[in-house]
Structure 1
Amino acid sequence: MKKATLKTIFLTGLLVLVPLAITLWVLNLIIGTMDQTLLLLPQAWQPKQRLPGLGAVLTLAFIFVVGLFTQNFVGQKLVSWWNALVRRIPLVGPLYSSVQQVSDTLLSSNGNAFRKALLIEYPRKGSWTIAFLTGIPGGDVVNHLQEEHVSVYVPTTPNPTSGFFLMVPKSEVIELDMSVDAALKYIVSMGVVAPAAPARRSIDPPM
């Protein structure tokens, strides 16, 4: 009993410290990288004393200004022209288009990606895992499916940024009464941080 208690305490401390350590490491990496953007400024504009994090502040301000500029008609036209130009570049164009499509799907407030947490049988019957609704199948794929399907993303654990894209029958999918954030915590913690018991109900995918 004492051994189990010590193990539980150790895992609890690990769950608290590991996310904190990773967050601090990533922040340090990003700020250090962004600080290098100051080297692109003219020599007269560069501060005499290098301030840690100044590059990060300038980069965030630049992103904000770009976002503000593209809210108007002229900015949107320039972005459309730029996208059309980049897409015509060999090798770079297809990669840019793919990344742009993914980012638009994930970051757009009007998108349906990762809006619902699901429960599906994967990778075999009797084994269940958490997935996220990404939409419904399209294109010629629909012509080869016997019944109504939904598109889902099955993340890996403890790294949810990698995973699998699946199209599963709608009748075999269970929508969880669980927020996406809670589901991600459940996945990252490898099931240790369990949310409240879910309620089963049928899924109604976006059209």
Structure 2
Amino acid sequence: MTSQDKPPVLPSGDLPPLAPPPEVPRGFMARVRNYFLTGLIVAGPVAITAYLTWWFVTWVDGIVRPFIPTDYRPETYLPWGIPGSGLVVAFLALTILGFFTHNLIGRTLVDLGERLLGRMPVVRAIYRGLKQVFETLFSGNGSSFRKVGLVEFPSPGMWSIVLISQTPGGDVAKKLPGQQEYISVFLPCAPNPTTGFFFYVLKASVIEIDMSAEDAATLIMSAGVVQPGGDPDKKVVALADMASAARAARDEAAAKPAPKVAAPTN
């Protein structure tokens, strides 16, 4: 090979940029799969929400319709029934009941009914428990399950999302060991947040986080796949820092000697 046949040598700074690799054509089945998954993501939540709404409306209609006289039912005058008519009747009935309950006569009747139920051995416990649950959940100023926290569970170094409830009272508060303040929490299980564990834990061991109960339920149901709001990496780092600080404070408190209690004199 002569010098005329050799290719020209370019300086290192003048090398031409490499061309990008050619795009690999995607197959027909891959495009169909992507289109199907996109449609499923769009239609799935809408379909499930519509199904649950329809189930709730028909369930209420099935309960309320037997109490409505036949002459007042819409299907008596129309060739088809109107879904949701029982729900409207139930809403109006409950609203009217609440209006009369605020009056003197209504409160007197409610007190009379509660005293009557309070004399029934089995019904009394069921009614009181359900009444407390409803008053706590539907009261505007209730604080139960409105705060979210972190608890070191099920083993050291592992942190779980909990819903913070009320402080223990009565015999439970007296029997819990130590003089520190306890608090009751509910730990939902993934992916079904309606099941879980209820236990009492030291209030100092619970780390309150800035997260709503709805976002916590979304996080639990998705098993951590859906991180509600913000940058997921920053949130994970912040939660890890908070957990480490809480664990260090707990270890420091445990290392302190317990106060001595003077023995009673005779």
Task: Tell me which interval the TM-score lies in, with the shorter structure as reference length.
Answer: 0.7 to 0.9
How far is 1:14 from its partner? 6.3
Question: Which residue of the partner structure matches residue 186 of structure 1?
Answer: 219
* Amino acid paired to 1:152: V
Correspondent of 1:99 among 106, 130, 150 = 130
User: How well do the aligned residues superpose, as a CA RMSD in angstroms?
Assistant: 2.9
Q: Contact 1:115–1:132 (CA<8 Å) still a contact in 2?
A: yes
Of 112, 121, 139, which residue of structure 1 is paired with 2:143? 112
Q: Secondary structure of 2:141's partner?
A: coil
Q: Deviations over 1:119-144 (max 9, x none)?
A: 11112222111111101121122223
TM-score by length of 2: 0.64
Given candidates 102, 106, 111, the residue that maps to 1:71 is 102
Aligned pairs (5 A) from 1:45-64 = 45-47=72-74, 48=76, 49=78, 50-64=81-95
What SS class does the counterpart of residue 136 from structure 1 fall into?
A: coil
2:57 pairs with one of 25, 31, 38: 31
When residues 20 and 78 of structure 1 are mapped into structure 2, their CA distance, relative to the original with a 3 A threshold, is: farther
Question: Could you say which structure has the larger radius of gyration?
Answer: 2
SS in 1 for 2:184: strand
What are the superposed Cα offsets for residues 151-186 of structure 1, whole Å, 9 maximum, x if unpaired? 111112222222221111122111102222222221
Q: Residue 42 of structure 1 is aligned with which of 52, 69, 85?
A: 69
Q: Please state if 1:139 is matched with 2:165.
A: no
Q: Deviations over 1:57-92 (max 9, x none)?
A: 111221222222223333233222222222333433
Percent identity between the aligned chains?
38
Are residues 14 and 88 of structure 1, via their aligned partners in 2, closer, same or farther at CA, if it must alter by over 3 Å?
A: farther
Whole-Å Cα distance in 1 between the matches of residues 61 and 148 of structure 2?
38
- SS of equivalent residue, structure 1 residue 102: helix
Distance 1:118 1:13 in 2: 36
- What is the rounded CA distance, in whole Å, between the counterparts of 2:39 and 2:203 in structure 1? 40
Q: Whose strand proportion is higher, 1 or 2?
A: 1
Distance 1:180 1:16, change over 3 A: farther
The equivalent position to 1:150 in structure 2, one of 183, 204, 229, is 183
Q: Distance in 2 between matches of 1:109 and 1:149?
A: 24
Counterpart Cα distance in 1 of 2:143 and 2:226: 26
Instruction: Supply the AA of the counterpart residue of 1:112.
Output: S
The number of aligned residues is 197
Contact 1:39–1:46 under 8 Å retained in 2: no
Q: TM-score, normalised by structure 1?
A: 0.80
Work out which of the residue numbers 98, 121, 125 in structure 1 matches 2:152: 121
Q: 1:156 to 1:150 in 2, by over 3 A?
A: same
Query: Quick one: distance in 2 between partners of 1:156 and 1:80?
Result: 39
Provide structure 2 residue ranges, at least 5 long, that are not aligned to the other structure: 1-25, 247-266
Counterpart selection for 2:196 from 163, 175, 184? 163
**CA-CA distance at 1:43 after TM superposition:** 2.8
1:23 to partner: Cα distance = 2.6
The one-letter code matched in structure 1 to 2:127 is Y
Indicate if the aligned counterparts of 1:15 and 1:189 stay in contact, CA closer than 8 A: no
Distance of 2:159 and 2:39 partners within structure 1: 28
